[in-house]
Amino acid sequence: MVAFWVERRAVKGQADWLKSPLVYTLSLSIYCTAWTFYGAVGYASRSGLEFLTIYLGPTLVFVGWLWILRKLVRIGRLQGVTSIADLISSRFGKSNLLGVIVTLICVVAATPYIALQLQSVTLSFLVLAGASTQGWEQPDTASIAFWVAVGLAVFTVLFGTRNLDAKEQHPGIVTAIAVEAIVKLIALLAVGIFVVWGMAGGPMDIFERLQRADIAGWEIKPSRWVGLTFLAAAAVITLPRMFQVMVVENDNEGHLATASWAFPLYLMLMSLFVMPIAVMGLDMMPAHANPDLFVLTLPLSQGQNTLAMLAFLGGFSSATSMVIVASIALATMVSNHIIMPIWLRVRASTFQSTNLRSSILLARRCSIAAILALGYGYYELSGGSSALAAIGLISFMGVAQILPSLVGGIFWRGATKVGAALGLSIGIVIWAYTLFLPSFGPDEAFSAAIMLNGPFGLYWLRPQALFGISGLDPLMHSLFWSFFFNIMAFFIGSLLSFPNPVERLQGVAFVNVFEEDPRNPSRWVQGLAEPESLLIMAQRVLGDEVALSFFSAAALAQGKVGFLPETTPVFVEQLERSFAGAVGAATAHAMLNQLAGGKTVSVEDLMAVADEAAQNLVYSQRLENNQHELTRTTRALREANNKLIQLSVQKDAFLSQVSHELRTPMTSIRAFSEILMTADLPSETVLKYATIIDNEGGRLTRLLDDLLDLSVLQNGAVRLDVQMVKAQDLIERALIAASQTCPERVFLIKRHLAREQIFIKSDGDRLVQVFINLISNARKYCSAKLPELAISVGQKGGQLMIDFIDNGHGISAEKQGLIFEKFARLTDESKAGGAGLGLAICREVLSNLAGRIEYLPGKGGTAFRVTVPLRFPGPKD
């Protein structure tokens, strides 16, 4: 009733005070359901303090909000997540399979819990109506439960599916829950205060009663203490109704900071009086009384009917709000991940012509009805006699299977769809096998024989003692094995499989949500979708007014007038998010892809296009390369041809020169030997002519030697004897050898001995040959009256430089190029006595030694510089 009234008000659109953190925190109270009212007290009276774990777990999760919750909320807001199934599906590449799996898990796990609420309402109603608390008649309770279920379905359909909100937020319902939270709290506190001060003698009295009432079965069992705390912590994150109010309905992350202490505070206050009530009940009520209902029966026993009424109201409203929120959350999931995809596939060709929005709403409404029907069915089936506490925990364990995939997904980029699917499936199967099915009671799902001996007699597969671990109680046993296999399968599956690109993109987006720019505009390509078609579709999905206002706002933001913005990537992205609110992320994605016959681009499409483009690019590049190669080859061939022609010309020239050079001395030799043969000559003349012949012969020999040397040098076939030699030694040797040339001339040799102490790794003998040549030339051609030769040694940049400078009158500029040519002589040849090959040979030698020789102009006289690397680099070519 409270809910109705508030809902009416909130629906009128009072938005401002909704944004307070208080409302957010109070809405989280949906965690406390009728179980808190009834089941907790019963649990406390049976097992002592263990019930506190159900509230301590969430306390730890919220106090530690920075670890998980903050990231979850951030992702939820940025990705427009509409449910936990949507989150998982979206994270792992918008996989519909995962969406389906998670939806099914949630439905299966929530059904018992809904049944639990129905049971609480029924029992409490019966108590209040004065009937006895045991041995009720089935039809009576059945009809109560039935009508409650129907009423809830109607209410939820009316207020939960009025319109499709892009963010899937229901501010009216949230407000209603917040108000109901206050009612719950007041009710429970009121009963508690009454019990402690009204019935007992105050806190100290309660304390003493506690000590007295300590019975076996109240001691804390370590495995259960830890396990249940963990379970409750997992549940507060993964329960669909908790996810809905915590993440989906969240408007402001700052609210989370407030909730981090305010929600635990609420939980603490709610559980404060549970133990006192339990203790008083055990003390005061008859031994066979149902401890679950102490909250009602205690005030009633004291004649406090109004208080009991208040308590009933609290319990009733908490049960109903749980069912409402849970069914909305579940219906969203079912319609987005199961119904709509099937619908789309079936109507793929014609869906544009139907009104999508009303289809979605219809799907939602049917889902709500179905879920409540399931809950009612379970209630009927289970006979309504199992202790309430057990059902709640079984339900928690079911949804908790989502935790590994969830936490892994938001923290680990390596988590993949395959891993998540495997983990979820295995976890749920083990949960069903070890906990869910056995809970129907012996012989319902599993016969007692199977429970004892395992299926087909396989002892190690006993449902409650898998692999021989029989020391744990069933709940912990199930917790251990289901999580063990879940996590193992998740890890191994993720490590062994390779994610598709959308998965990886989503992985980065989720895991790095605090670092990255939340928008990924590169996913849509500009201008490939027409705004008008988008508008038509949006009108169908979101409704006319909503779509129009969305579009016009976007147009306005872009600086355009009217209703049609440009389809920028950002805009399409926003649109996809709005659609996701109505039909789920995967479906929205598919829809926008389908639009305009594939002209829009998704990541997959982009990649396909990119692939093709890449292939084309490679192909054309190859063609280009071939072309280039062709032109290069032709050019090279042409150059080679030219060179060959040149060489051939050079060779001819060389041959003619050589034959000329050879012929000249040969002519002399023949001439004089002929004279010697024919005439009778005096002996001095004979001697003179013989000497001439000898000299010419020598000249020929030298010429041939030089030619040979040159040829060897030019062919690079020379064998170099590379050693460490000292410049000074080389110069000394050269001077001594060259002093044979024109020995009559006295030269002044200028040297700088200190600088000649350099060691060089090269062919010393060849260098000496070069130096001898240069020094001999100087001795032959230096025209100065008092001839001087300066030899200076220097080094720079790894090169050794030796200059030979005389004080003659140098060589004129135009001749400087000629002197290194073969057979080039600047003066009369007979005077020189050489063949003109000296400098050519020097040049070849130095070329072989990776050095060079050049004429140094501007030194006054003839100057040559020999440059050779300090360290012979090795043979070339």
Partner 1 sequence: MKPKASALFLARSLYRKRRLSDAAKLLPIFGAVLLLLPLLWVHQGAPERSNTATNWVYLFIIWSFLILAAAGLAKPLNNFEDGDDQSSNENVSGRSPESGRSDAL
Residues engaged in binding partner 1 (CB under 8 A): 15, 19, 48-49, 52, 56, 59-67, 77-78, 80, 166-167, 207, 210-211, 213-214, 216, 218-220, 222, 225-226, 229, 251-254, 257-258, 260-262, 264-265, 268, 272, 275, 517-519, 546, 549-550, 553-554, 557, 570, 574, 577-578, 581
DSSP letter for each residue of 524-588: S-TTSS-HHHHHHHHHHHH-HHHHHHHHHHHHHHTT--SS-----HHHHHHHHHHHHHHH-HHHH
Q: What is the largest CA-CA distance in the chain?
A: 174
What does the alpha-carbon distance between residue 327 and residue 370 come to, in Å, rounded to a whole number?
Answer: 9
Three-state DSSP state, 332: helix
Which of these, 31, 90, 194, lies nearest to 580 by C-alpha position?
90
Structural contact between residues 179 and 8, judged by C-beta atoms closer than 8 angstroms: no
Ramachandran category for residue 584: left, alpha or beta (phi over 0 → left; psi -120 to 50 → alpha): left
Residues ≥6 apart with Cβ < 8 Å to 522: 569
End-to-end CA distance of the chain: 101
Residues ≥6 apart with Cβ < 8 Å to 380: 142, 145
Three-state DSSP state, 795: strand
Ramachandran category for residue 13: left, alpha or beta (phi over 0 → left; psi -120 to 50 → alpha): left
Output the six-digit token pair for 52.
């506190």
What does the alpha-carbon distance between residue 502 and residue 563 come to, in Å, rounded to a whole number?
Answer: 32
> DSSP assignment, residue 35?
I
- Closest CB to partner 1 among 220 and 736? 220
Structural contact between residues 196 and 18, judged by C-beta atoms closer than 8 angstroms: no
Beta bridge partners of 387: none
Smallest distance, partner 1 to C-beta of residue 528, A? 20
Q: Which residue has the tokens 């959350």?
A: 329
Residues ≥6 apart with Cβ < 8 Å to 601: 524, 525, 528, 609
What does the alpha-carbon distance between residue 585 and residue 341 come to, in Å, rounded to a whole number?
Answer: 11
Q: How many helices (H) and strands (E) does the chain have?
A: 36, 7
Q: Which residue has the tokens 């809405």?
A: 27
Write phi, then psi, for 744 (nearest 5 degrees).
-75, -25
Q: What angle is formed at CA 372 by the lines to CA 369 and CA 373, rounded to 5 degrees?
A: 85
In what helix (H) or strand (E) does residue 111 lie, and over which residues does it extend?
Answer: helix 96-128
Structural contact between residues 716 and 754, judged by C-beta atoms closer than 8 angstroms: no
What does the alpha-carbon distance between residue 834 and residue 829 come to, in Å, rounded to a whole number?
Answer: 7
What does the alpha-carbon distance between residue 290 and residue 285 come to, in Å, rounded to a whole number?
Answer: 9
* Sequence-ordered alpha helix ranges (H) in 161-247: 171-193, 203-213, 222-238, 240-243
Output the six-digit token pair for 467.
């692999």
Output the six-digit token pair for 19.
């944004």
- Closest CB to partner 1 among 493 and 581? 581
- CA–centroid distance for 298 within its chain: 59
What does the alpha-carbon distance between residue 309 and residue 804 come to, in Å, rounded to a whole number?
Answer: 124
Output the six-digit token pair for 435.
């906990």
What does the alpha-carbon distance between residue 759 and residue 727 come to, in Å, rounded to a whole number?
Answer: 6
Write phi, then psi, for 563 (nearest 5 degrees).
-110, -10
Beta bridge partners of 804: 791, 864
What does the alpha-carbon distance between residue 328 and residue 244 come to, in Å, rounded to a whole number?
Answer: 9
What does the alpha-carbon distance between residue 274 and residue 42 come to, in Å, rounded to a whole number?
Answer: 9
